[in-house]
Structure 1
């Protein structure tokens, strides 16, 4: 699938877009249409076996809408908010390191043992 020259100029080959990000980007770019899941999978190079779980998670978050058998972008403000959050989280991961669930659990366990 071709990309715009602006996207080409800012393309970072070390950044790997998630399936959800690819689906949302595709649906935003084509917000005047609704697609069948298989069409979205083909357009975004998301595996056909993965597309329904991705779309269902996005629907739960209000980022896509579904009317059998079609899918379309959801509330654009919710999409924007999700993208801002994702960008902020990526920036924080890049500058201070990503969070570790194991570290959070160890810290919470040590707090529990330190309490009187």
Structure 2
């Protein structure tokens, strides 16, 4: 859906735009769930279900956006306010599974 030039111009330049069904979102979601660890591309591929040739390209794009970092063969998410919504959704969805809606002990 197109937006007007005024809307385009008013967008913050650091706006993070990741659709929930994208490969980048899946990688960021996995890394945010495990923000205390770093992973190899092979481990990320295994956990996200992405194709072998896709993970490297996705990680490179996310690194270009300043959202992930790497040392050697290991990759990790960075701490960034733009990622707070992904982290909140991830933590919220896992905690809702454990919520006691019926007051049972």
> TM-score interval w.r.t. the shorter chain?
0.5 to 0.7
Q: TM-score, normalised by structure 1?
A: 0.54
Determine whether 1:20 maps to 2:20.
no
TM-aligned CA deviation for residue 82 of structure 1? 8.6
Q: Which structure 2 segments of 5+ residues have no match?
A: 1-18, 88-105
Q: TM-score, normalised by structure 2?
A: 0.59
- Structure 2 counterpart of 1:49: 53
Distance in 2 (CA, whole Å) between partners of 1:60 and 1:16 is 19
TM-aligned CA deviation for residue 77 of structure 1? 1.5
Determine whether 1:64 maps to 2:68.
yes
Q: Secondary structure at the match of 1:49?
A: helix
Aligned residues of 1:62 and 1:78 also touching (Cα < 8 A): no
TM-aligned CA deviation for residue 59 of structure 1? 0.5
Q: Which structure 1 segments of 5+ residues have no match?
A: 1-14, 84-116
Q: Which has the higher contact order (CA 8 A, sep 6+)?
A: 2
Determine whether 1:79 maps to 2:83.
yes
Distance in 2 (CA, whole Å) between partners of 1:62 and 1:74 is 8
TM-aligned CA deviation for residue 78 of structure 1? 3.4
